[in-house]
Amino acid sequence: MSPTILVVDDDEDILVELERTLSKRGYSVTTTTSPDIALGRATSEDFGVVLSDLRIGARSGIDLCERIRAACPAVPVIVMTGFGTMEAAVETLRAGAFDFVTKPFSPAHLDLSLRRALDHRALSREVRSLRSRIDGQSGARGILGRSDAMGEVLEVVGRVAATGATVLVTGESGTGKELVARALHDASPRAKGPFVAVNCAALPDALLESELFGHAKGAFTDAKTTKKGLFLEATGGTLFLDEIGEMPLTTQAKLLRALEDRKVRPVGANHEVAFDARIVTATNRDIESRAAEGTFREDLLFRINVVHVELPPLRARGDDVLLLAKVFVRKFAERHGKALMGMTDDVERRLLAYPWPGNVRELQNAIERAVALARGDLVVADDLPKRINDHAPADILVSGTDPTELCSLEEVERRYIAKVMEIVGGSKSEAAKILGLDRSTLYRKVEKYRSDSS
Ligand SMILES: Nc1ncnc2c1ncn2[C@@H]1O[C@H](COP(=O)(O)OP(=O)(O)OP(=O)(O)O)[C@@H](O)[C@H]1O
Ligand SMILES: [Mg+2]
């Protein structure tokens, strides 16, 4: 896709002329005569460069440049100066312009300046993305992960946080659903408001409704006073409905009405109250099959599933296991006053080979325990829970008892290498570590099996 240049000038003839020359050189061009429209579009669209005249009617191009730099610092601005005075040029650069071109300019000169600006933009984008990968963190605070699987999650979280959209977070137990819900809140304009979490599975049906929607005084025996309810407690903030898959059907019907009308009716009350909370929900159940079998309302699923964030299980996140483990070692060492430096290669191998049914929570607990037990300055295999040390990957390979299905050792090796490569997301160095081979040996084996099978 060719980069789009936004050209701002009050002279229509110049706009037509620039559009023609720049298109010929392969750029997509958008033009406007209004600095306000330019600013609006620059903030909402993804332009490669803004090319602005120094004077746009009575308005100043330098002022526009400053405002674009403030609103979207990643977009380079090039200013066209008509007078060629040094003063104007210096002033444009001071305002944060990437470059200036003096009129009349040759198309080649303009092209050069545009290319430099676009290269600069591409480079700074790359630096930013590399930096966030190195930190293992993106805009979403506290969610660690560098794997491609988590990269996608973090990208969606970063993109929707500010929009206030209703989000459904799914994933196995311990994959970080609540963490994502909090990150969505923290990165939203509602961050200063309350984050109210409720576990829909933990309360009996009747209590859940009065918790959520509130109740009027005397609504039932124990209702001695009026109660506001969590929808209203979350005013100006986020309401997190956890384990929504467990919500009883009667409550589901009331929740659907509330979400449709943006109003709640407290239990026993004859009036409705408008609420102002962003709704984030989570479940570790396969909610779509629950909807298909009729235990979860399809229309409610449709309402809560405006944006879907699906957290991958830890075993599908490759090296993230080690990234998380190292951060947890540091965290718990600090908490328990230990001077731990890290873990042995052997421990790393075991952590990578274990399938983590309890996901990040299980890893975190295992590391906390290991740190508490550790004696030297490294966590060693003995400090790990028995189930991790005992985990025998052999059961991946030999599960049947049918003699006709038994195979040669070489075939076992081939299958096992393929399985390990798949689990670590194709990383040969990680696979080599798990297999206890050096990289070149692994490489040779992978190549051999590949050529055997082709
Ligand atoms: N990517 C991550 N980076 C750092 N910490 C994480 C990450 N994912 C999960 N955790 C930590 O793991 C623990 C479990 O996460 P969380 O409570 O969000 O999981 P959950 O999906 O809501 O689990 P459950 O389904 O059991 O409620 C928390 O302490 C959380 O901080
Ligand atoms: Mg949870």
Cβ of residue 179 lying under 6 Å from some atom of ligand 1: yes
| Per-residue pLDDT at 294 | 92
CB 364 less than 6 A from any atom of ligand 1 = yes
pLDDT band at 69 (very low <50, low <70, confident <90, very high): confident
Would the pLDDT of 304 be above 90? yes
Nearest-angstrom CA–CA distance, 11 and 71: 25
Q: Is the pLDDT of residue 248 over 90?
A: yes
Arithmetic mean of pLDDT, 338-346? 88
Cβ-proximal residues to 417 (8 Å cutoff; 6+ apart), any chain: 431, 435, 442, 445, 446, 449
Closest ligand to the CA of 149: 1
Of the candidates 96, 107, 88, 101, the residue with the CA atom closest to the CA atom of residue 64: 96
pLDDT attached to residue 219: 75
**Atom 25 in ligand 1: residue holding the nearest Cα:** 173
Q: So what's the architecture of 4-130 in CATH?
A: 3-Layer(aba) Sandwich (3.40)
15 vs 40, residue with greater confidence: 15
How far apart (Å, rounded) are the C-alpha atoms in residues 167 and 173? 18
Q: Which carries the bigger pLDDT value, residue 184 or residue 402?
A: 184
- Superfamily of domain covering 394-453: Homeodomain-like (1.10.10.60)
Mean pLDDT of 354-369: 95
Does the beta carbon of 177 sit less than 6 angstroms from any atom of ligand 1?
yes
Give the pLDDT score at 448: 81
Mean pLDDT, the chain, whole residue set: 87
- In the chain, % helix, strand, coil (3-state, to 5) comes to 50, 15, 35
In angstroms, what is the span from residue 317 Cα to ligand 1's centroid? 14
> Which residue has the least CA distance to atom 26 on ligand 1?
173
Q: What is the pLDDT of residue 360?
A: 97
For the record, the structure tokens of 336 come out as: 């328990």
pLDDT in tens, 92-125: 888 889 998 888 888 898 999 999 999 988 887 7
Ligand (nearest to CA of 320): 1
Q: pLDDT by residue (tens digit) across 26-67?
A: 999 999 999 999 988 887 777 899 999 988 888 888 999 998
pLDDT higher than 80, residue 451: no
pLDDT at 258 over 90: yes
Residue 407, pLDDT score: 73
CA of 358 to the centre of ligand 1 (A): 10
pLDDT at 134 (0 to 100) = 57
Domain ranges in the chain are 4-130, 148-310, 315-391, 394-453
Contact partners, residue 181, CB within 8 Å, separation at least 6: 167, 169, 195, 197, 238, 240, 242, 280, 282
The domain made up of 315-391 is a member of CATH 1.20.1250.20: no
CB distance 309 to 183 below 8 Å: no
Confidence of residue 211 (pLDDT cuts 50, 70, 90): very high
Six-digit token pair at 337? 């006053």
Element (H, E) at 297: none
Query: Closest Cα to atom 9, ligand 1: which residue?
Result: 176
The residue among 132 and 403 whose pLDDT is bigger is: 403
**380 pLDDT tier (thresholds 50, 70, 90):** very high
Q: Which residues surround ligand 2, an ion (CB under 5 A)?
A: 177-178
Q: Greater confidence, 298 or 442?
A: 298
Asked whether the predicted pLDDT for residue 286 surpasses 50, the reply is yes
Residue 276 CA to ligand 1 center (angstroms) comes to: 27
Q: Which helix (H) or strand (E) is 393 found in, with range?
A: none
C-alpha 155 – ligand 2 centre gap (Å): 21
The residue to mutate among 141, 173, 175, 317, having the most atoms of ligand 1 within 8 angstroms of its beta carbon, is 175
- For the cut 50, the answer to whether the pLDDT of residue 139 exceeds it is no
- The pair phi, psi for residue 282, each rounded to 5°, is -145, 155
Task: Judge whether 4-130 and 148-310 match in fold.
Answer: yes
Residue minimizing CA distance to atom 10 of ligand 1: 176
Task: Give the ligand 1 atom nearest the CA of 172.
Answer: 25
Quick one: which of 315, 382, 329, 345 has its CA closest to 174?
315
pLDDT, average across residues 176-197: 92
Residue count of the chain, please give it. 454
SS3 180: helix
In tens, the pLDDT along 409-432 reads 887 888 888 888 888 877 888 888
* pLDDT, tens only, 305-323: 989 999 999 999 999 999 9
pTM over 0.95: no
Q: What is the mean pLDDT of residues 223-248?
A: 92
Cα atoms in the 13 Å half-sphere on the side-chain side of 420: 24
User: What's the Rg (C-alpha) of the chain?
Assistant: 29
pLDDT band at 252 (very low <50, low <70, confident <90, very high): very high
Residue 104, preceding peptide bond in cis (omega within 30° of 0): yes
Q: How far apart are CA 65 and CA 90, in angstroms?
A: 13
Please report the pLDDT score of residue 393 as a whole number: 56
Give the Cα separation of 147 and 160 in Å (integer): 20
Residues 6 or more apart whose Cβ sits within 8 Å of residue 448 = none
The pLDDT assigned to 138 comes to 46
Q: Which atom of ligand 1 is nearest to the CA of 311?
A: 21
Q: What CATH code would you report for 148-310?
A: 3.40.50.300
What are 153's two structure tokens? 């999650």
Percent share of the chain, pLDDT over 90 = 49
Closest CA to 176 of 313, 304, 286: 313
